[in-house]
Amino acid sequence: MDSQMPWASWDRAKTEAFIRICVDELQAGNKPGTHFNRTGWENLICKFEVFTNIKYSKIQLKNRCDGLKKEWGLWKTLLRGETGLGWNHEKRTVDATPEWWQRKIREHPEAAKFRERGPILVADQHLLF
pLDDT score of 5: 63
pLDDT score of 1: 46
What is the pTM assigned to this prediction?
Answer: 0.89
Residue spans of the domains in the chain: they are: 12-128
If you write DSSP's letter for every residue of the chain in order, what string do you get? --TTPPPPP--HHHHHHHHHHHHHHHHTT--SSSS--HHHHHHHHHHHHHHHS----HHHHHHHHHHHHHHHHHHHHHHTT--S-EEETTTTEEE--HHHHHHHHHH-GGGGGGGT---SSHHHHHHH-
Which pLDDT tens digits describe the chain residue by residue (129 residues)? 444 567 899 999 999 999 999 999 999 999 999 999 999 999 999 999 999 999 999 999 999 999 999 999 999 999 999 988 999 988 889 999 999 999 999 999 999 999 999 999 999 999 999
pLDDT score of 4: 57
